[in-house]
Amino acid sequence: MLSPGEFVSFYAQAGAKKAANGADRLAFSAVLAGFYIASGAVVSNTAGHLLTNAGLSRVLCGLLFPFGLIMVIVTGAELFTGNCMITISLLEKKASLAGMVRNLVIVYLGNLVGAVLLAAAIVYCGQLDLSGGALAVHTIRTAAAKCAIPFGKAVVMGILCNVLVCAGVMCSLCGKSLPGRAIGAFVPVSFFVIGGFEHCVANMYYIPAGLLAARVPEYARLAQEAGVNLSLLNLGGFFTNLIPVTIGNIIGGCGFGALIWAAQRQKPN
């Protein structure tokens, strides 16, 4: 595997390439990454929707969700949270601030498109009918709970999440074999899911899926009968979550990249 110092040199070049990529290539790769991360959310929701033990549910989700990031890395897709480490390229003077911001904006929007498209497909194809609509209730409850997270807590949960996501990207890219890359991505991402931290791209699936499900009369009725509070589950609630979580993810990811660069950069002789 690459040493941390070798990783910094490697990612400085890789991040520079990301910052210089064409807008169309970034957008298509970002839609794919949004789909992959949302797929991890779909599988996690489906597997755990009948579990009443919160700890057990988180552990199960933590074992399944990381495969989304593994697919992102193996296929070369573009993920907003991982790309916050382009900070390394910026500090190594291999990329410009404008290039980094351009990459993050295009990738963020592409991730949103990919995640929301999958959310719409899941809701309107009837996949949430599972267990007599219990999966729909779980999806709506999860989205409503995320919309109710206070701003400050969402920022902190976003910071903690992306430190681990970027650690997963680093550990994965340090590997020189497919199993090594998969294990490197798996463990840190599993930790953030079990810890209950907040990932903006995952929430681009979780909340829109709940919003769309709540617009289906039968799903809304089942959710209300289950005692789910739908008052905050609206477009405003989506942005109330997405904005602070995104801010936290940026701080955590850029901060992680800067810390790794400061600690492990190879100084000239």
For the segment 134-154, what is each residue's pLDDT rounded down to a tens digit? Answer: 999 999 999 999 999 999 999
How much of the chain exceeds pLDDT 70, in percent? 99
Confirm if 103 and 15 have CB atoms less than 8 A apart: no
Q: Which residues make Cβ contacts (< 8 Å) with residue 209, sequence separation at least 6?
A: 41, 45, 119, 122, 123, 139, 143
What is the average per-residue pLDDT within 80-104? 96
Q: Write down the pLDDT at residue 266.
A: 77
pLDDT of residue 265: 87
Summarize the confidence of residues 20-25 as an average pLDDT: 94
Handedness of CA 71, 74, 78, 81 (dihedral sign): positive
- Write the burial class of residue 209 (CB in 10 Å: 0-12 exposed, 13-18 middle, 19+ buried): buried
| Cα three-residue angle 64-82-100, rounded to 5 degrees | 160
pLDDT of residue 66: 95
Per-residue pLDDT at 269:
57
At 34, is the pLDDT very low, low, confident or very high (cuts 50, 70, 90)? very high
Q: Are 185 and 70 in contact (CB under 8 A)?
A: yes
What's the pLDDT at 268? Answer: 64
Is the pLDDT assigned to residue 120 strictly greater than 70? yes
Indicate the average pLDDT of the chain. Answer: 95
On the CB side of 240, how many CA atoms lie within 13 Å of its CA?
A: 15
Q: Which residues contact 175 (CB under 8 A, 6 or more apart)?
A: 1, 181, 182, 183, 184
Q: Is 100 exposed, middle or buried (0-12, 13-18, 19+ CB in 10 A)?
A: buried
